[in-house]
Amino acid sequence: MKRYKASICWIIAVFILSLSSLVFAQEDRKGCKDHPLLSRMQGYRIAVCRDREFDAEDFIDPATQQKVTIEGRKFHTEYSALKPFEGKYSRLQVSRNYTNAITKIGGIAYEKNPKDPSETSMKLIKDDKEIWAKLQFNFGANYLYLTIVEKQAMAQQVVADARFMAEGINTTGHVALYGIHFDFNKADVKPESEPALKEITILLQKDPRLKIYVVGHTDNAGGLDYNMKLSHQRAEAVVKELISKYKIAPDRLKAGGVGPLAPVASNDTEEGKAKNRRVELVKQ
């Protein structure tokens, strides 16, 4: 029986050693790097990393200690200690390094159980960007999970086709489009708008008598006069693109802009603002 127990213990020890040699290798995983907001502490390597263009994550709001769900670009990085199980750092020491770093640049932080943190939440608003971070622990402080979400609305990629546009115009006299894209505070139509512009062209080709207003809409960020001007400039840019590139007759199109005056959602959330930033086709 003693020999059997000794054998089991030996097998477990070999398994743990082999596991630690795999998990706690010396080099960063290929293609992985630290997020520019937060560097790592000495003695860690990147074992796993993921970068998703749009995803969601739950955080504890440092200001209210309430759970919130944040959507945007999501980075997940897992760090493993170069020399595991030596107890070089406590969880508190690691957590406090991160919270000090974030508060030094104007952010706020919250440690769940400050004596021995199991999760640390951080938030930073700077240069019109809202960034959330969460640090979690495993095997003491030998394995760290750092999740960062740069809050933003999803870039819509699926666009309405010509049939959908026609149904909207025939039913309500207008249709909202979310497939026409512009850079922030600019009126130049971006190349990824091409699928939506092609569908508008098909719509107009199928109904030669149809004439439309192209109407720009914005959220309420910034001054009213500025947004009125920007929305009109964006509508004019769409009209210009349809005439020059897609050969639509100029007398079938007319540009207009109403800025933030016709919202379809609340401007109190990023999701609502994204819905309000749109181009609409309105039947003349």
The candidate with the shortest Cα–Cα distance to 281, out of 160, 167, 176, 159, is: 176
Q: Is the pLDDT of residue 47 over 80?
A: yes
| Domain chopping of the chain, boundaries | 23-151, 162-283
Q: What is the pLDDT of residue 49?
A: 96
- Confirm if 91 and 117 have CB atoms less than 8 A apart: yes
Q: What is the pLDDT of residue 179?
A: 87
- Confirm if 193 and 240 have CB atoms less than 8 A apart: no
Query: What does the mean pLDDT of the chain come to?
Result: 87
- Confirm if 210 and 283 have CB atoms less than 8 A apart: yes
Q: What is the mean pLDDT of residues 72-79?
A: 94
Q: Is the pLDDT of residue 60 over 60?
A: yes
Q: Is the pLDDT of residue 24 over 60?
A: no
- Three-state DSSP state, 201: helix
Residues 6+ apart with CB under 8 A from 48: 29, 32, 76, 77, 78
| Position 5 confidence tier, pLDDT thresholds 50, 70, 90 | low
Q: Is the pLDDT of residue 25 over 80?
A: no
Q: What is the mean pLDDT of residues 147-175?
A: 83
The candidate with the shortest Cα–Cα distance to 123, out of 96, 153, 99, 152, is: 99
Q: Is the pLDDT of residue 128 over 50?
A: yes
Q: What is the pLDDT of residue 188?
A: 92
Q: Is the pLDDT of residue 17 over 50?
A: no
Q: Which of 16-20, 23-27, 181-185, 248-252 has the highest mean pLDDT?
A: 248-252
Q: Is the pLDDT of residue 55 over 60?
A: yes
Q: What is the mean pLDDT of residues 70-83?
A: 92
User: What is the C-alpha to C-alpha distance for residues 81 and 172, in angstroms, rounded to an integer?
Assistant: 61
User: What is the C-alpha to C-alpha distance for residues 284 and 268, in angstroms, rounded to an integer?
Assistant: 32
Pick the CATH number of 162-283 from 3.30.1330.60, 1.10.10.10, 3.40.50.300, 3.40.109.10: 3.30.1330.60
User: What is the C-alpha to C-alpha distance for residues 124 and 18, in angstroms, rounded to an integer?
Assistant: 40
The percentage of the chain sitting over the pLDDT mark of 90, rounded to a whole number, equals 64
Burial of 65 (0-12, 13-18, 19+ CB in 10 A): exposed
| Cα separation values, 29 from 52, 125, 267, Å | 17, 30, 41
Q: What is the pLDDT of residue 13?
A: 47
HSE toward the beta carbon, residue 54, CA cutoff 13 A: 7
- What's 168's DSSP letter? H
Q: What is the pLDDT of residue 22?
A: 47
Q: What is the pLDDT of residue 10?
A: 47
Span 231-246, pLDDT tens digits: 999 999 999 999 999 9
Q: What is the pLDDT of residue 149?
A: 95
Span 174-230, pLDDT tens digits: 999 888 988 888 999 999 899 999 999 999 999 999 999 999 999 998 899 999 999
Q: Is the pLDDT of residue 4 over 60?
A: no
Q: What is the pLDDT of residue 7?
A: 53
194-197's contacts with Cβ under 8 Å and 24+ in sequence apart are 195/159, 196/159, 196/160, 197/238, 197/241, 197/242, 197/245, 197/246
Q: What is the mean pLDDT of residues 153-169?
A: 76
Span 99-113, pLDDT tens digits: 999 999 999 999 998
